[in-house]
Chain A
Amino acid sequence: MQDLWIIICVGLMGISCSILGCFLILRKMGMLTDAIAHSILPGIVIAYLISESKNNFIILLVATIFGVLTAFLTTWINRRLPNRGDTATGITFTFLFAVGIILVTLFAEQADIDQECVLFGEMLYIPFDTLDFFPEIPRAFPLGLCVFLCVLIFIKKAYRPLWMITFDENYALSVGISVSLWHYLLVSLVSMVTVASFELVGSVLVVALFVIPPATAYLVSNNLKKMIKLSTVFGLISVILGYYISVIFGGSSAASIVITETLIFLCVLIFSKLTKNNFNYVK
């Protein structure tokens, strides 16, 4: 039963990440995801300090603000340093992450949080941290379900505009779709998912959940819908496989999920090379 709860909670996160990740990697936001995952750290610490308990709502809100702040700062620095988008990303996220680390070490006693928990996460504690009024249900489950539903509804409702800003920003602008509005909506959703999953997998490895399954799907798909479906499948499979691998061989569960994802990626890459199918261009 405990294994099942862990897989359900991490699986929900994995699916949410894989769906959003498709848009992220197509919009060349792979490293921005990395940046957001690092820079919501001060937000998390501040939220813990304000609420003095694990109040999920406040954490989601504050961390989302920090995610949007990251994207905003990156754009702002990029305007100062034209043509150096990667430098802007690097400056922003290292700054916020460093602030977060200092806050964590300074207030480690007051807030129920420490460096390792933030960086590595610990999914094995999921079944023991339960809700007050339903002692059978772990705390991570309603949060995961909520985030998953948000992502699902967002993608269903906003599929057309997202599709347009992903593949043709100029066309989207010309038919009156605000590219920056949707960009920031996507960013805030990404930060929500990141903050919801950081306790389970840690802030660095969330990036893998966002990027690797969609990248795997990208290798073998030729349209967006198929890519999203495949990416969800890859994400779910690697969560389940990775978890059981960590049960058998020991070591960190989050790390083994990421390693499994990469192995699947490599297998699919070799498969697509061997069959010589250029899936991306052949209709």
Chain B
Amino acid sequence: MINFWYVLAGGVLLAIATAIVGVWLVLRKEALTGDVVAHGVLPGVGMAFMLYGVKDMMILSVGAAISGFLSLYAMHTLERHTKLKKDTIMAIILSFFFALGLWILVKIQASGNSGVSGLESFLFGKAASILPKDILFSLISVLLVVFINLFSKRWLFYTTFDTLYSKSVGIRTDLANHLLTFMCILTIVAGLQSVGVVLMSAMLLTPAGIALFLSKKIKRQNLNTLFILSIFLNISVVIGGTSLSYLYPKTPTGPWIVVVCSLLALGLFTIKNKKSNS
């Protein structure tokens, strides 16, 4: 039972961070960037394991963060230097990094190193394997995200909605973008173990999407409402999903959280639709 509380604590911490970053991503119409980073961390995880040969979360996370950053950098470079559309570039980067990660993972598996078995849990997440020291790691990253968010909220707000104005009053838009990138990578790396790379973007997007929708319905469209709604939704969804995954011990945790969250989203979208029609 004690393990259940660990998992829950880790999940709730993660929920706070993803909710905050998700709201920014949705507002900036960069929703799928999270997906690109989440796939982009995979080669870093593989490489870190290859170099050090141990499954230590700290080392793997550093590798993950580096390759996540590289994937974003590659995306922006291609955007600047080609006439390809943004979603094409995203699909290219995403599948290339995933392929690279897969190639490395298969290589590692072929080398017969013991302890490799757990690496697959990065794909779908295995919350049951969370240890107290992993929770400490997520706690640090969540505190960092909340801290950065509190201090740079105005900057991010102006750069999101009016780049020209914020440039003219002397806000460093590039710095604000870097901060958001940093927050995004930090959150995704922290969530690797419990949600996994493939479904990370759901934790970012779906609560933020619902929050955006609801805030419009209750006519309170401001940033704080969005944050509160999204954090609240995300925490309750994580609690629901984690409990469900304990009923079916064979299944990974990440998908359950996502299913609960999406069903909530779909339900809310339909109900509101009927009301607004009448």
**Chain A residues close to B by CB (< 8 Å):** 25, 28-34, 38, 76-77, 80-81, 83-84, 86-91, 94-95, 97-99, 101-102, 105-106, 115-116, 119-120, 202, 204-205, 207-208, 210-212, 215, 218-219, 250-252, 254-256, 258-259, 262, 265, 269, 273, 280
Taking the closest CB of chain B, its distance from the CB of A242, in whole angstroms, is 10
Contact B209 A84 (CB under 8 A): yes
Per a CB cutoff under 8 Å, which of A80, A95, A218, A259 touches B202? A95
Contact B96 A102 (CB under 8 A): no
The majority secondary structure among interface residues of chain A is helix
**Which residue of A77, A94, A99, A250 has the most chain B CB atoms within 10 A of its CB atom?**
A94
Taking the closest CB of chain A, its distance from the CB of B262, in whole angstroms, is 3
Query: Given the complex, which residues of B lie within 8 Å of A256, measured CB to CB?
Result: 99, 103
**Which residue of A98, A212, A219, A265 has the most chain B CB atoms within 10 A of its CB atom?**
A98
Per a CB cutoff under 8 Å, which of A25, A88, A102, A269 touches B256? A102
B212 part of interface (Cβ distance < 8 Å): yes
Contact A252 B102 (CB under 8 A): yes
- The docked-state distance in angstroms from the alpha carbon of A70 to that of B209 is 17
- The docked-state distance in angstroms from the alpha carbon of A183 to that of B274 is 27
Taking the closest CB of chain A, its distance from the CB of B268, in whole angstroms, is 9
Contact B96 A259 (CB under 8 A): yes
Query: Given the complex, which residues of A lie within 8 Å of B95, measured CB to CB?
Result: 34, 204-205, 207-208, 211-212, 258
Contact B100 A81 (CB under 8 A): no
Which segment, of B8-16, B26-34, B59-67, B228-236, faces chain A? B26-34
Query: Given the complex, which residues of B lie within 8 Å of A280, measured CB to CB?
Result: 83
28 contacts between A and B (CB under 8 A): A30-B88, A33-B91, A80-B272, A81-B212, A83-B29, A84-B31, A86-B29, A86-B87, A89-B31, A94-B205, A94-B258, A97-B199, A99-B255, A101-B124, A101-B251, A102-B248, A105-B250, A105-B251, A106-B251, A210-B91, A211-B88, A211-B91, A215-B88, A219-B82, A219-B84, A251-B103, A255-B103, A262-B92
Can you name 12 extra interface pairs (CB under 8 A) apart from A80-B213, A95-B259? A25-B85, A77-B209, A87-B29, A87-B209, A90-B31, A94-B199, A95-B262, A102-B248, A204-B39, A215-B88, A252-B99, A258-B95
